[in-house]
Chain A
Amino acid sequence: MSNHLLFENIDEPGLNTLDVYRARGGYAMAEQALAMARDSIITALKDSGLRGRGGAGFPTGLKASFIPQGKMDKYLVCNADESEPGTFKDRELIQKNPHSLIEGMIIAAYAVGANKSFIFIRGEYQQQAEILEAAIAEAKEAGLLGPNVLGRGVELDMWVHRGAGAYICGEETGLLDALEGRRGNPRLKPPFPANQGLYQGPTLLNNVETLTAITYILKVGAEAYSAMGVEKSSGTKLISVSGNVKRPGNYEIELGMTGRDIIYGLAGGIEDDREVLLWFPGGSSSPVLTKDDLDTPYDYDSLAGAGTMLGSGAIIVADDRNSVVDIAVKTASFYKHESCGKCTPCREGTSWTTKLLKRIQSGEATPMDLDVIDSVCDQIQGNCLCVLGDAMAMPVSSMVRKFRPQFEAHIESARIANEQRLLAELDEQEPVLQGIGAL
């Protein structure tokens, strides 16, 4: 079997239209699912071993089983607020194959008994949102959505909601607040969205890739899907490779492939055949790995074992022309800018770390400041309301720990450079009148 599922026909022209999608067997799975018992779909999801593709890697079947049974207003929300730096897989899925997402959502909504569904898409994805809206309109027209889905008496309505440009709205509870029309701030958990989510109702919240994968799990069968990949990380994963590689882009891989095979195989190696300085295995919030970690298998547990995480599956490669200090400043600045400000450690910690790193960058620091950064990151981790604080603390502290000599060398060289610049500036100045001799 080819290891391509989600990307099977991805480049087929017109796949975003219902006709072409149907011609490729589209919506057959939705039809099949609606004939199944709701439980058996959730069982299939559990058996497939699918884990959430948004970042946290929580088992999808288990999450769906948390939604209470019974008649009440339940919601399905698709998180398409793909904002993690380096991640662009959902964008391609939505742009080229929107119907597979809609089909996955029909199946998921049916499985948990939700009859209202929302796709929260990041505001910058304008073209994708329009494609998605067109696809939903087509699906409604064809009776695939609406009061009587596929003539089976199931009701499902679907809306696309565009975000207004905040990274934090990718956090599930922040997304729910924003969707309800409030300031996008994460909520306290518990209660979890499965019990009290959107408008206080039980809510199933999944990433675009996760929901799309559901269609394909039904297509190949849970058993065949779980046979792909490695134990506890089954199936395929879309990865977005970017940075100093020869062939950046989205790839669908079977989990368990090594980092080296991805970077040097699929992505064609490093530009100008230079060395890897560091790589983020799962978006900018994952602790960085070095060239020594290239042979780590790319799956949830192996990466966790290496002290990092698979995250959103975005591999960012930096070669040895880059300065780790600059990367750290850039990373920290991003999270400082995106912190919502609700909880103290994240609000103050990201801002403090950024200020410290900028001072290091400009050569006005001492190596002791590195200890402060490390300690501040430590104080953030695990103490925040949501994971945004950790998302800065983890990569930054991993850089400071793994590249301490480089940081110290930068501090020293920048300090000397500053000193020389200052002396040179003094030299350039016109001699100042001084003392009686100048008269």
Chain B
Amino acid sequence: MPRPEIETINFTVDGREVEAPAGTLLADAAKLADVDIPVFCYEPKLGAPVGACRMCLVEVEGIPKLQTACSTPVRDGMVVNTETPRVKAAQESVVEFLLLNHPLDCPVCDKGGECPLQDISFGWGRGASRFAEPKRHFQKPVELSPLIAIDRERCILCYRCVRFSQEVSEDYQLVLHDRGADTFVGTFDGHPYVAPFSGNIMELCPVGALTSQAYRFRARPWDVEQSGSVCTLCPGQCNVSYTVRDDRVVRVLSRENQDVDDGWLCDRGRFAYQSTYADERLRTPLVRQDGELVPVSYDAALRRASEILVNAEQRVGALVGGSTSNEEGWLLRRLMTEAIGSRDFDSRPAGAVSAGLQAALDAPEAQATVEDLEWAHAVLVLDTEPVDDMPVLDLRLRKGIRRHGVRLAVATSRPSALDPNAEISVRFAPGAGEAFVCALDAAIGGVGDVGGLSRAAGADPQAVEALGRMLREAGEDVVVLWGERLTHAADPARSANAARALLKASGRLGLLDGRKGSGLLQVPTVSNARGLRELGVLPNVGPGYSEPAAVGRSSREIAAAAAAGEIAALHLLHVDPVASFDDRALWSRALGRASGVIAHAAFLTEGVREHADVIFPAEASAEKEGTVTHPDGRLQRLRPAVGKPAGALPGWQVLAQLFTALGGRSTALTAMMVTTELAEAVPFYAGITHDEIGGLGVRWQDRDAAAAFPAGDSGPFSLEAPAEAVSPNGALRLGSFRSVWASPEVAHAPALKFLAPKQRAELNPEDAAERGIRHGQRVRVSVSGAAATPSTVEATAHLRSTSPRGSVFLETGLGAQSATALTPDETTVPAMVTVESA
């Protein structure tokens, strides 16, 4: 549904005539006249108002009863009074009622000082109570979850948390028990409220009823400062505000940005700050001496690192991880191309797409924004699980469906959390994304062999046809939210074919025409993938999607080359390929064979611990300065909220010094100077500064410089026959997914530790029954066939009736027990495994 046009009307509040957009609710519109109407239950982010707390009663001329400002839309000529004796009396009454059962324990309450109930009681209350009866009592505080404490005596039953659970995150866990004055908030069955977005209810709570277990009693509002930045744990890049006490982050709050996060945070983003202060975090450079990693000075570490790079004589490969800022990526690129003279660097974990195709996919005309997801006629979620890959989008999609009637289609291998909201859900074989997109293209165009291609993808041809029809007929505004893994096939030809098929299908739907409100939106595998791509931190793409002079090796090729001894040194910038890339065994061999490995890391993950010769400590999110680019092209600014550990250097500076040590000419003295440098190199970033990016970021597509975007591959695209998903034939197809909780930050944050995933094998109950496997039982998953080095992963069987037959899904990011540990001998799509009771 396209965004509605809104006209402006005039209305009067407390004698002031103001203009307001028609239909704005009075509680918001009054602010335009600097009139503050107190509210508790009203929160626009939660959707339609409920009018429960009755705090916002105002007098509207012509209506006999007092009206709730939160639910009354302004109309032209409306006259509103918020200060008459009648309104005053009603406001005082509501405050008095709310405080009847409230314990008034502000001096020991975490919310004290930043509490709407306090503020409104001061501003609109009578200042005295006539209540002489005993108050309502509950056991308190109790654990609502390991993350959240609930104090039911402080609760004023505004319904916000319950509405969040029911209508925003739709986890349906929180309910109100009992009724009347005995009402209390809890989960239906008394289980802990554990959900990916549960922490948001603490920010919504207008009193001290829901408090953070991690922040409880750590600080008072007058001890702390707020410092805005951006979370770099996932591509969502939600805007956050760090609460800092004594140069230490003690809490993370959302910093609402309509265009990015809508004011929500996932629990990982909210609590991972704790890992900054974990003992395991690296604080000084380490160098391997006689097999042991020992702390050394930066000078010593830099000396050793340059020796490694010099000795390798251009045979250096570099990998760049997701939390890398644009500045670090840019300096690494300069280091590699100018000082070392190697083009073997990649920021993609797998796959390769040519500069032309990449430019076509990222063209401003084809770009959908995050907000488009909520106003489109239809959205297709393609080969990605938003709640794991870019959590905050999950909430945005739900919002669009619930409030604006967006029609959702989901096409994935693994059952999606969005399936219940989708009009159509199509499953295809794990890894058969390429074939699926080819089939979808045929279905949308009504040409080609939909049936054959669908079968090649392991998908139901009728469902693909129905999906094609739905997208074709839904309306003009269609957004395809696609997972980057679609182009991560081991064979680059397959990746390119998938990209072409995606472009072709999108072209058929008119998504590449530059129409506002429709287009493609990528869910990248790593958080700053877009920024690194645009800077040319790819082997086959130059800055600004230019064609590079020479093409280097991609990630996978670097692995093979290093394992074969062709690459001598590896430079790992915020990435551990053993822990997070496919084909663990190959990467282990590659790192083992390399004569020198330089790593920038915050934690000693397995590959770094075993193989790195020099380690530079990475900055924590809250310490970092620089810029990142959101998947929809929004440049956002990272601002340091706290100082670094004593003596630590910022990542960009380490790279700049290394560059200088190797004879390069780095003139950057500040992070901002690097930003200026990269803005000069990328034509469509031209002139961008930290000031312009500001607090909410700026999309480069909205700037004049966007005209400098190069023409990408414009087609017509002819598709090759896609790789066919082999039939399970007694074995099972192996699919993998990365849980939102699989990251070192979760493992090292005390509050989140309990969420760190353990390997589980998701199976269809019938497949399980055939193998005599019960839910919850330990199983062994092994690669089919006679493997030279048999690889096996142990897991807990998790039977899901929605899981497609013939497939098994394992998590990645779990060390030796990851799905990536299963290395097939022959490359089939997908890999085949057997599952048996352990």
- A interface vs B, CB < 8 Å? 166, 168, 183, 188, 336-345, 347-352, 355-356, 359, 372, 375, 379, 382-385
Contacts and interface: CB of A to CB of B under 8 A. Distances in A.
A351 B180 CA distance: 8
A383 B180 contact: no
Contact of B54 (A183, A343, A355, A375): A343
Nearest to B70: A188
Nearest to B65: A382
B133 A338 contact: no
Contacts of A351: 100, 180-181
17 contacts: A168-B179, A337-B180, A338-B180, A339-B181, A341-B178, A341-B179, A343-B51, A343-B53, A344-B94, A344-B97, A345-B93, A348-B101, A351-B180, A352-B133, A379-B89, A385-B51, A385-B52
A352 B181 CA distance: 9
B97 A379 contact: yes
Given A188-B50, A382-B65, A383-B93, A344 B183 contact: no
Contacts of A383: 54, 57, 66, 90, 93-94
A347 B89 contact: no
Contacts of A183: 175-176
Contacts of B122: none
10 interchain residue pairs of minimum CB distance: A379-B93, A351-B181, A341-B183, A348-B97, A339-B180, A355-B133, A188-B51, A341-B180, A344-B97, A342-B52
A283 to B, nearest CB: 19
A431 B93 CA distance: 51
Given A355-B133, A372-B130, A344 B50 contact: no
A160 B176 CA distance: 27
Nearest to B48: A188
B552 interface: no
Interface string B64-78: 011010010000000
Given A188-B68, A342-B159, A347 B94 contact: no
A341 to B, nearest CB: 4
Contacts of B49: 188
Given A339-B181, A344-B53, A344-B97, 7 more contacts: A338-B179, A342-B52, A344-B52, A348-B97, A351-B100, A359-B133, A379-B90
B157 interface: yes
B131 interface: yes
Interface of B: 49-55, 57, 65-66, 68, 71, 89-90, 93-94, 96-98, 100-101, 130-131, 133-134, 156-157, 159, 175-176, 178-183
Nearest to A372: B130
A133 B101 CA distance: 45
A384 B181 contact: no
Contact of B133 (A356, A375, A379): A356
A348 B181 contact: yes
Nearest to B50: A188
Contacts of B183: 341, 347
Nearest to B97: A348
Contacts of B51: 188, 343, 385
Nearest to B180: A339
A350 B181 contact: yes
Nearest to A335: B180
Contact of A379 (B55, B65, B96, B101): B96
A192 to B, nearest CB: 13
A67 to B, nearest CB: 22
A356 to B, nearest CB: 7
A341 B157 contact: yes
A359 B179 CA distance: 23
A375 B57 CA distance: 18
B98 A348 contact: yes
A345 B157 contact: no
Contacts of B57: 383
B180 A340 contact: yes
A107 to B, nearest CB: 33
Contacts of B179: 166, 168, 338-341
Most buried by A among B49, B57, B157: B157
A188 B90 CA distance: 18
A175 B57 CA distance: 25
A350 B134 CA distance: 15
Contacts of A385: 51-52, 54
Contacts of A375: 130
A183 B180 CA distance: 13
A62 B180 CA distance: 34
B767 to A, nearest CB: 34
Contacts of B71: 188
Contacts of A340: 179-180
B588 to A, nearest CB: 54
A345 B130 contact: no
A349 B90 CA distance: 13
Nearest to A190: B71
A336 B180 contact: yes
A347 B180 contact: yes
A357 to B, nearest CB: 11
Contacts of A352: 97, 100, 131, 133
Contacts of A336: 180-181
A344 B101 CA distance: 11
Contacts of B97: 344-345, 347-349, 352, 379
Contacts of A344: 52-55, 94, 97-98, 156-157
Nearest to B72: A190
A98 to B, nearest CB: 31
Nearest to A388: B180
Most buried by A among B54, B159, B183: B54
Contacts of B101: 348
A393 to B, nearest CB: 12
Contacts of A337: 180
A337 B57 CA distance: 25
A342 B183 CA distance: 9
A51 B100 CA distance: 40
A372 to B, nearest CB: 5
A62 B229 CA distance: 58
Contact of A341 (B68, B90, B181): B181
A188 B71 CA distance: 8
A341 B152 CA distance: 14
Nearest to B136: A351
A72 to B, nearest CB: 16
A351 B89 CA distance: 20
A34 B54 CA distance: 45
A383 B55 CA distance: 10
Nearest to A349: B97
Contacts of B131: 352
Contact of B181 (A168, A347, A382): A347
Most buried by A among B94, B130, B178, B181: B181
Contacts of B94: 344-345, 383
A270 B558 CA distance: 101
A384 B90 CA distance: 10
Nearest to A359: B133
Nearest to A341: B183
A352 B133 CA distance: 8
A281 B191 CA distance: 48
Most buried by A among B52, B53, B66, B159: B52
Contacts of B130: 372, 375
Contacts of B182: 341
A94 B55 CA distance: 42
A338 to B, nearest CB: 7
Contacts of B90: 379, 383
Nearest to A352: B100
A385 B157 CA distance: 14
A105 to B, nearest CB: 30
A430 to B, nearest CB: 32
B128 to A, nearest CB: 12
B421 to A, nearest CB: 17
A9 B96 CA distance: 54
A183 B98 CA distance: 22
Contacts of B175: 183
